[in-house]
């Protein structure tokens, strides 16, 4: 369960004091420069630093990384157009606040041989004071919901609600005391959003967690969710707390989808009709919280379009002006539609990508055909689906980087599972995925999944030069540094 919370919070998982005025909350376009030094005792082999900046208009995290030099230094440029909390990983996770144009330095230290010692992150440069204060704030934050995840009892839901009610004032007092002698606009905005939405986000997360693991969980129409009607109004400065606000937006899309699916008049509706009804239901609830619901509706459209589905947009485009009042949010949907429409109408297969069909007639022989075609090379199979978010996240940067590094020594193969064929080629075109591609129908996918012990999507299967499966898991994704180490070792055997 700790792992669940970690993934949850990291997928949510950023000058000096005189620069940190209310003016920094304005939207501008200017990159952030993050530089730093990793100082480790009993040195851990930290090969890279990764940062994740949430883009609200793309409804997705943008990933940037830097290799760590021999002396422990690194440097990353992060495009930004608004103040934001940025998540980062360098041995362990941390986060920082940044505004466009900032130049931020961080020193990362810790004794990795001492598993009880917390890593330390010391900031200087622009927002040095702010980010050192942020580390203090997170370290001393007075509320911990983790113990509730350890209970399988039905009473845990009521206990969680009571806990939230009792501890909301505690967060507010903590924030007030923390900011007593602080006039930093970004930190103040971050803490304000934390107080407004911490428990709202946690309540939906907790219910989703219990439902996922088969514990007693509330139905979408139960009183547990009454708080959603009275959520505090989202203001533009709140967006800086991306970990909380992004998660709230996502949770609301999930909640309303479940609510609409459970309605009696939804039975028998196909997926397109359900999607249209979902948009109407969400739009009807936006009155008291226009910016928040603009983003919820926006994310529903973008999720649909990201799966190369344009029918919802085309069926409702005349209503979008009334659904979404913010022009920039509305325009981002229009631009996404244009991009997806072009991909569907005229997908351009990148040079170095091969769309193949198996010569073998039995799916049980497909893996052997791949091995034979590799000619003694190490084989790296990416098992993916066109609707899979983590699959697509790897395709953006990590997958092409891994391919470029090992293109002469590794056979890169892509098995597309559980997907609509009409979205298969557009996905390859969108991410310019080089390698050998195979589309598997339902029966073929079932056979391959058993043979490689598919764990879900994505799953990465590595086969050595003798044709033996070395592993098949999610961990050895392109962005995982140990994947490079493993492939190098197998090549040299």
Ordered DSSP codes for 217-246: ---TTSGGGGGGGGPPPP-GGGGG-HHHHH
Q: Are residues 2 and 93 in contact, defined by beta-carbon separation less than 8 angstroms?
A: no
Q: What is the 3-state secondary structure (H, E, C) of 387-452?
A: CCHHHHHHHHCHHHHHHHHHCCCEEEEEEECCCCHHHHHHHHHHHCCCEEEEECCHHHHHHHHHHH
Q: Is the pLDDT of residue 115 over 80?
A: no
How many of the other CB atoms lie within 10 Å of CB of 57?
18
Question: Would you place residue 183 in the very low, low, confident or very high pLDDT band (cuts 50, 70, 90)?
Answer: confident
The CA dihedral of 259, 263, 265, 266, to the nearest 10 degrees, is: 50
Average pLDDT for 253-272: 93
Question: Topology of domain 353-492, per CATH?
Answer: Glutaredoxin (3.40.30)
| pTM of the complete model | 0.86
CA distance linking residue 59 with residue 50, whole number of Å: 19
Q: Is the pLDDT of residue 448 over 80?
A: yes
As a whole-number percent, the residues of the chain with pLDDT over 90 amount to 81
Average pLDDT for 319-338: 95
The closest of 53, 94, 101, 50 to 76, measured between CA atoms, is 50
- pLDDT tens digit sequence for 47-59: 789 999 999 999 9
Q: Is the pLDDT of residue 286 over 90?
A: no
Are 2-140 and 353-492 in the same CATH fold?
no
In angstroms, the first-to-last Cα distance of the chain is 38
Average pLDDT for 135-155: 94
Q: Which residues neighbour 327 within 8 Å (Cβ) at sequence distance 6 or greater?
A: none
Q: For residue 260, give both structure tokens.
A: 């609409």
pLDDT number for residue 397? 87
How is domain 2-140 classified at the architecture level of CATH? Sandwich (2.60)
Average pLDDT for 339-368: 95
Q: Kindly list the domain boundaries of the chain, sorted by start residue.
A: 2-140, 281-346, 353-492
As a whole-number percent, the residues of the chain with pLDDT over 70 amount to 92
Q: Are residues 435 and 416 in contact, defined by beta-carbon separation less than 8 angstroms?
A: no
């Amino acid at each position: 369960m700790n792992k669940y919370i970690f993934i949850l919070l990291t997928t949510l998982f950023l000058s000096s004091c005189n620069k940190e005025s209310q003016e920094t909350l304005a939207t501008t376009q200017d990159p952030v420069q993050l530089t730093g030094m990793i100082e480790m005792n009993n040195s851990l082999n930290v090969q890279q630093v990764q940062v994740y900046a949430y883009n609200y208009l793309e409804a997705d995290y943008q990933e940037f990384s830097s290799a760590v030099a021999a002396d422990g230094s690194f440097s990353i440029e992060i495009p930004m157009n608004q103040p934001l909390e940025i998540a980062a990983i360098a041995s362990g996770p941390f986060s920082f606040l940044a505004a466009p144009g900032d130049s931020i330095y961080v020193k990362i230290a810790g004794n990795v041989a001492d598993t009880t010692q917390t890593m330390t992150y010391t900031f200087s440069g622009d927002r040095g004071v702010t980010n050192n204060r942020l580390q203090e704030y997170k370290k001393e934050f007075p509320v911990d919901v983790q113990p509730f995840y350890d209970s399988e009892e039905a009473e845990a839901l009521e206990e969680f609600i009571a806990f939230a009610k009792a501890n909301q004032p505690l967060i507010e007092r903590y924030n007030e005391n923390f900011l007593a002698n602080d006039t930093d606009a970004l930190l103040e905005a971050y803490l304000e959003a934390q107080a407004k939405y911490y428990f709202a986000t946690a309540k939906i997360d907790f219910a989703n967690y219990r439902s996922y693991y088969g514990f007693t969980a509330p139905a979408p129409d139960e009183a547990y969710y009454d708080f959603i009607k009275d959520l505090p109004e989202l203001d533009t400065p709140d967006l800086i707390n991306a970990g909380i606000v992004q998660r709230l937006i996502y949770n609301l899309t999930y909640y309303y989808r479940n609510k609409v699916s459970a309605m009696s008049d939804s039975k028998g509706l196909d997926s397109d009709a359900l999607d249209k009804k979902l948009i109407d239901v969400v739009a009807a609830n936006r009155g008291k919280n226009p910016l928040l619901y603009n983003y919820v509706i926006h994310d529903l459209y973008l999720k649909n379009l990201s799966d190369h589905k344009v029918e919802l947009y085309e069926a409702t485009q005349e209503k979008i002006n009334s659904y979404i009042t913010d022009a920039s949010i509305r325009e981002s949907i229009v631009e996404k539609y244009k991009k997806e429409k072009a991909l569907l109408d005229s997908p351009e297969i990148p040079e170095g990508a091969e769309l193949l069909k198996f010569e073998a007639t039995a799916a049980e022989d497909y893996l052997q055909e791949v091995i034979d075609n590799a000619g003694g090379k190490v084989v790296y199979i990416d098992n993916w689906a066109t609707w899979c978010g983590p699959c697509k996240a790897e395709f953006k940067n990590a997958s092409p980087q891994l391919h470029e590094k090992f293109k002469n020594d590794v056979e890169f193969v892509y098995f597309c599972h559980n997907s609509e064929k009409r979205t298969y080629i557009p996905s390859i075109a969108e991410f310019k995925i080089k390698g050998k591609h195979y589309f598997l129908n339902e029966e073929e996918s079932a056979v391959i999944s058993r043979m490689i012990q598919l764990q879900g999507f994505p799953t990465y299967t590595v086969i050595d030069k003798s044709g033996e499966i070395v592993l098949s898991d999610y961990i050895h994704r392109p962005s995982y540094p140990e994947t490079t180490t493993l492939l190098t070792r197998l090549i040299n055997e």
